[in-house]
A and B are shown apart, each in its own frame.
Chain A
Amino acid sequence: MQLYLPIADLPVNVFLVLAMGAAVGFVSGMFGIGGGFLMTPLLIFIGITPAVAVASVASHIAASSFSGAITYWRRRAIDPALAAVLLSGGVTGTALGVWTFTQLRALGQLDLMIALSYVILLTTVGSLMFSEGLRALMRTRRGTVPPRRTHNWIHGLPLKMRFKRSKIYLSVIPVVIVGIVIGFIGAVMGIGGGFILVPIMIYLLRVPTSTVIGTSMILTLVTMLFATMLHAVTNHLVDAVLALILMVGGVTGAQFGARAGQRIRGEQLRLLLGILILSVGIRFAVELVIRPEDLFTIRELGVTG
């Protein structure tokens, strides 16, 4: 069934987009991530312009993180104080990100920047996760306990605050900075940032695993809602029809993914996620290096008359 996407300005097959949403949702449910870093490239692949893809995926991630956040809220697995501090940085970062997005688009370098940031971010995070997962897997094989450090330099920073539900005593400075960074890259790249945020919170901020996913989902939810709003107001690029199809597919797929994820061990899961992220990054890198099929592109600057 063909459906015309009003903002993307192109007809797509509803079932194809629905299936893409479900597939990405399955992966995101399995790994407990938003899945934006997979969804945006897939949309670009079927011919939607990177700008529309980034803007529309924001609302799709908002939907999936909201359904996740509700579940975690019921289980009291969200730290409201930590979420609030993260958000103060996240909202600033998102506003900066949307502003940068608009500037790059005017310069004609948006597509390049999206591709470049995907390459850098995904290959880095992917290889880190892959090697970490590999090491963890070897450790469990050998049966050794991982070395555990309780404090690092971050815990020496001033402006400390007590986060009761997470049972940590931590400076707000790194938390706000993490919020800004995640908000910024989320708005520019059309990703929720959960796959970076969760490791940062666990390894750098030492947030306990009981509250980390729920709290990161709150950050994703609010920054993505805010990004949707800003993209809609400044660039008029959010395709609501596309977003709705993705959401329906995504939230459904996520439920099955979550069930499948429970059957796989943590280290294997991280290893798989690392491979997945790395391969998306490499795909973008290849695209940048090989000669494009057509060296010329056209962009309309608005129809008159």
Chain B
Amino acid sequence: MMRALIAALLVLLLGTSARAERLIVSVSNHRVTVTPNYSGEELVLFGSVERDASTPADRTAYDLVVTVIGPRADMVTRRKERTFGIWINTDYRQFLQVPSYLALFANRPFDQITSAEIARRQQIGLNNVLLMQRVGGDYADVVPNDVFRSAFIRLRTQRGLYREDASAVTFLTPTLFRTGIPLPAEVPIGTYEVEIKLFANGAFIGKTETAFEIVKVGFEQFVATSARQNGLIYGLATAAMALMTGWMASIVFRKD
């Protein structure tokens, strides 16, 4: 058992060290604070492709795909249909543990970077990202052109929470790259994973990961947390606030 584990570890280690390129990345800020007047921000991801002696000499042009995955959540997509002359929510699909924020960036169109088969396996592009659905009793991702799936992606994209940009990654030198990660005003809080996948001549040759965190600070975060965790006290405080405001008004505007 132990020996098998060590063997597996060795294979893993050798496997990584045998790779010709190494990716070194960093984001401009590992902890983004959202204040009450936060109106969106852009993080910057920097990195470089480190070559070593085993790198094939003819391999000069690299392609990169950066995937940013926000905290996961369950979501429901509902569809309205006309019933008795009015529009009513009828059918729905539940999406299980899907990213609340999802961004896919590359230096050129995904289909030019790699083959459709590898793109699907590596989840390159919004059409290839795994979005688990519960359909009745089954758990599965469906075909990319499923109406609920495409409506889900379209609505998230409209809110700036899902995005795909095949020209967002720029190579400053053949090995040095940067990309911006736009974070809209209504960005979900939590831990964001960043995956950087390296391709050369259509082949996937390695990846690295980093992460950043989005935290809300200040009064409004305090309000949000207490509303969720201490509903009773929060309710009492709100009720007291209502009474105070009403009482103050009756004093300020007292006519007699």
By a beta-carbon cutoff of 8 Å, the part of chain A in contact with chain B is 1-7, 9-11, 59-60, 62-71, 74, 108-109, 111-112, 116, 224-225, 228-234, 236, 238, 240-241, 243-244, 247-248, 251-252, 254-255, 288-289, 291-292, 294-305
Contacts and interface: CB of A to CB of B under 8 A. Distances in A.
A241 B190 CA distance: 23
Given A2-B37, A4-B38, A63-B246, A10 B74 contact: no
Contacts of B34: 4
B178 interface: no
A60 B71 CA distance: 34
Contacts of B154: 296
Given A66-B243, A292-B87, A71 B77 contact: no
A66 B220 contact: no
Nearest to A65: B246
Interface residues of B, number: 63
Main secondary structure of the interface of A (DSSP, over half): helix
Contact of B76 (A4, A108, A229): A108
12 contacts: A9-B186, A66-B242, A67-B249, A68-B246, A233-B231, A238-B235, A243-B242, A296-B79, A298-B77, A298-B155, A298-B156, A300-B100
Contact of B249 (A4, A228, A251, A288): A251
A59 B247 contact: no
Contacts of A71: 250
B238 interface: yes
Contacts of A7: 223-224, 227
B232 interface: yes
B188 interface: yes
A69 B221 CA distance: 34
In the A-B complex, list the 8 residue pairs whose CB atoms are closest, starting with the nearest: A232-B235, A66-B246, A251-B249, A296-B151, A67-B246, A6-B224, A63-B242, A62-B242
B237 interface: yes
Given A7-B224, A232-B235, A304-B97, A109 B247 contact: no
A67 B227 contact: no
Q: Among the interface residues B74, B85, B154, which one has the most CB atoms of the partner chain A within 10 A? A: B74
A137 B247 CA distance: 36
A247 B245 contact: yes
